[in-house]
Amino acid sequence: LYSSLHNFIKEEIKNPDLTLKHIHELAIQIYLNENPQSSSPSSSQMQMTKIPMPTENAFTRIHLPSFPLLNAERIVELLENERIKRELHPSRKELIKNPQIPRIVPMGLPIPLYNEMIGIQSISSNSARRLEVMRKCINSIFEKKILDARKTLNAVILALRTKHARLALCEELNNHVVGNKAILEHEQFDLVVRLMNCALQENSEIDINEIAAQIVPLAMKFCRRLSTNVIQFAYTCIQDHLIWSNQQFWEQTFYLDVERDIKNLYHHNHNNGRTNFEKLDVDISKQFSDFILKDSALEIAAQQMRIADKLDQNRIEHFSQQESATIYAQA
């Protein structure tokens, strides 16, 4: 439903009368999912059939009729006919529980694109203004315009209460890193550390939005020179947060890093022409016609399982060794 919602929205924009029709179809689909036995009258009657229990003294009778001899060929014939009938006309309940063909369900479009399609722009425009203020503040910090940065610092700290602003902060800071480390002056370093602390303070303890996972590599790159041969990195100033003592965070970060490297591994092989991945091109309108969803790690695994029979054993072992090396490198 979610993956095809944009097609319904396009049709409803052109013809508003289809809105009630789509709502009615959706209601029927939800009802059938919750009550699969109502899809056919015969199945409901079959489910209501009950086999009577034997009476209390049924097994004490002396003259019990002998059990009839069953015809094996007739039983096999009936079972085969029933199997063919179910394959030709499967019931909805069987389709739900036992899908015939494995398939990848499309992920659908991000929610901001749906909001733009149906005209919800007030929230996004307000958020865009806050992100623009943050971008100017960070640019002022790295351009050594400290006074201009301090003027908008309070507005940036208030904006960091939203997850989009915290993700944008990590992205902006990453754009100003060149090489393995970025040596800042004392005032620049203090402002960057303060922004990192505010982002971590507003973040949850289990790092749902992956903010802390993105701050870790940044904190190991931003630094300042205290004296000759003495350099202080930003991670020494953000150690008081509870997220660092959460074992679940470090496990999640490890899995995210492995997933990212696995995606880079197979996308690199795809760009070299070694594998054949399918791209999901979502055609919404002219402005979204070139929107392509990237393959996730689960989709890559599904693709590899699908084409495993077509690959030779040497290539499968090659991929297996590369995956193992990727995991060991992160560990």
Look at residue 270 in the predicted model and tell me its pLDDT.
57
Residue 78: the pLDDT is 92
Answer yes or no: is pLDDT of 123 > 80. no
Give the pLDDT confidence score for residue 261 in this predicted structure.
83
DSSP state of 275: S
Q: Which of 188, 213, 241 is the last residue of a domain?
A: 241
Q: How confident is the model at residue 263 (pLDDT cuts 50, 70, 90)?
A: confident
Higher pLDDT, 6 or 192: 192
What's the pLDDT score for residue 8?
81
Q: Is residue 48 part of a domain?
A: no
Spatial separation of the C-alpha atoms in residues 130 and 119, rounded to whole Å: 20
CA distance 253 to 288: 32
Domain boundary pick from 216, 241, 266 = 241
The mean per-residue pLDDT over the stretch 62-79 comes to 84
Closest C-alpha to 169, from 99, 111, 219: 219
**pLDDT above 90 coverage of the chain, percent:** 6
- DSSP letter, residue 86: H
Indicate whether 281 pLDDT > 50: no
Q: Please, where are the H alpha helices in the chain?
A: 5-14, 18-34, 41-48, 72-88, 92-97, 111-118, 122-142, 146-151, 153-159, 163-175, 186-202, 211-219, 247-271, 297-306, 313-330
| 266 and 188 together in one domain | no
- Structural domain includes residue 285: yes
Do 208 and 315 belong to one domain? no
pLDDT for res 331 = 66
Same structural domain for residues 201 and 263? no
- Considering only 13-27, 171-185, 200-214, 260-274, which range has the smallest mean pLDDT? 260-274
- Residue scoring higher pLDDT (168 or 128): 168
- 234 with 272, same domain: the answer is no
Whether 209 and 166 map to the same domain: the answer is yes
168 and 233 belong to one structural domain: yes
- Per the document, the length of the chain is 331
Query: What is the band of 76 on the pLDDT scale with cuts at 50, 70, 90?
Result: very high
State how many domains the chain has.
Answer: 3
**Containing structural domain, residue 19:** 1-38
Nearest CA to 169 among 155, 183, 180, 182?
A: 155
Give the pLDDT score at 77: 92
Query: Who has greater pLDDT, 79 or 37?
Result: 79
Judge whether 65 lies within some domain: no
In a domain, 101, yes or no: no
pLDDT digits (tens, 9 = 90+) for 176-187: 888 788 888 889
Amino acid of residue 20:
L
Together in a domain, 159 and 223:
yes
Residue 116 lies in a domain: no
Question: What separation, in Å, do the N-terminal and C-terminal C-alpha atoms of the chain show?
Answer: 39
Query: Could you read off the pLDDT of 158-173 as tens digits, one per residue?
Result: 888 888 888 888 888 8
Q: Which amino acid, 308?
A: A
Rounded to whole angstroms, what are the CA distances from 10 to 3, 94, 157, 288, 292? 13, 32, 39, 12, 18
pLDDT digits 0-9 by tens, 237-261: 888 888 888 888 888 888 888 888 8
In a domain, 90, yes or no: no
- 2-41: b or e for each residue (b if 16 or more CB lie within 10 Å)? eeeebebbeebeeeeeeeeeeeeeeeeeeeeeeebbeeee
Q: Is 207 within the bounds of a domain?
A: yes
Residues 266 and 218 in one domain: no
Q: State the helix-helix crossing angle for 247-271 and 313-330, rounded to 10 degrees.
A: 140
- Of 213, 241, 269, the last residue of a domain is 241
Residues 154 and 236 in one domain: yes
**Average pLDDT in the 323-329 region?**
82
- The mean pLDDT of the chain is 76
Work out whether strand 182-184 and strand 222-227 pair parallel, antiparallel, or are unpaired.
parallel
Where is mean pLDDT largest: 27-41, 79-93, 189-203, 260-274?
189-203
pLDDT in tens, 84-107: 887 777 665 555 555 445 666 666
The answer to whether position 121 is within a domain reads: no
Cα–Cα distances (Å) from 312 to 72, 219, 307, 315, 318, in that order, read 44, 44, 10, 6, 10
Q: Would you say residue 282 has pLDDT above 70?
A: no
Q: What does the pLDDT average to over 76-82? A: 91
Rg (CA), the chain: 31
Reading the block at residue 214, the tokens are 């993105």
Overall pTM surpassing 0.75 (yes/no): no
Helix pair 122-142, 111-118: axis angle to 10 deg? 130
Tell me the CA distances in angstroms from 330 to 111, 258, 300, 322, one per residue in order: 32, 7, 20, 13
Domain co-membership, 145 together with 215: yes
Residue 37 has pLDDT above 70, yes or no: no
